[in-house]
Amino acid sequence: MNYEIVFSDVDGTLLNTRHQVLPGTLSAIKSLQQQGIPFVIISARSPSGIYPIQEKYGFKCPVISYSGALILDENKKVLYSKGFSRDLAERVIEFIEINQFDCSWNIYSKDTWIVKDKSDPRIVREENIVQAKAIAGTIDILSDNADVGKILCMCNPDSILDIEQKLKEKFSSLSIVKSSNILLEIMQDGVTKGNAVKELCEMWDISLSNTIAFGDHYNDVEMLETVAMPFLMGNAPEELKSRFPNVTENNDEEGIYNGLAKIGLIPKI
């Protein structure tokens, strides 16, 4: 098979449990790039939560942020953007506040990250993980015509399913997906990693039959269903492993490197 592009999720996939890129994975990325095969990071994170990874490990690549709402080339030029209005985002936040959901909300617009309370331990933890800083405030920080890429809800794991259901009932026009046992991602309708894969491949005239992707959680499902060669990480939920039999090693055991080496796309170290 003549594979032409590789997509990879970040948390639980590209990064190990200590939020590091392992040596074999970094070698695999550079090997792909030497062959002229784009390695594309695709994540629910904002660009400011992705670029520090590239800077730390010394590589550049295209980035798909907010689970598909924003696509940038390796030089940070915007290729595609599909957010929702500030007014709609304001209504979502108001609904969360009125219902006193056990969660901490985050608003993302391009590289602006707004939170209600910077001292919330969940926000502090996220800042440390993504190496980016939030701004305490309200949606009024954004201009009237601002494009909101995502609202992220950091939830109590015991409440997340109830919060997800109520948000979906109230805002059926939005795409709402659980990306972990504590995280809910809220995007514009039609925004999925799978659709972003299709969008970028169409722009670059790459056939979907020549695509590979690595993911580890429910917000990766559409992407894994879209590409020709989906790799599910070994640390993924068991339910997903029954749906995607092509399971590679976990993110602490060079899952990306081993998957690509297994199909002969990169040399074995």
pLDDT tens-place string over residues 149-190: 999 999 999 999 999 999 999 999 999 988 888 999 999 999
State the residue for tokens 């659980």: 178
Q: Which residue has the tokens 């290729």?
A: 79
**Domain contains 152:** yes
Q: Residue 236: CB partners within 8 Å, gap ≥ 6?
A: 12, 215, 216, 217, 244, 247
Task: Name which of 182, 187, 192, 156 is nearest 171 in CA terms.
Answer: 187
Place 115 in a pLDDT band, splitting at 50, 70 and 90.
very high
Last residue within a domain, chosen from 188, 211, 244 = 188
Domain holding 146: CATH number?
Answer: 3.30.1240.10
End residue of a domain, out of 188, 221, 250? 188
Tens digits of residue pLDDT in 77-114: 999 999 999 999 999 999 999 999 999 999 999 889 99
Same domain, 155 and 196: no
Catalytic positions: 9
Measured distance CA(22)–CA(257) in Å, rounded: 9
- Reduced to 3 states (helix: H, G, I; strand: E, B; else coil), residue 241 is helix
Mean pLDDT over residues 141-148, rounded? 92
Domains of the chain: total:
2
Distance from C-alpha of 192 to C-alpha of 186, rounded to nearest angstrom: 11
Supply the pLDDT for residue 149.
Answer: 92
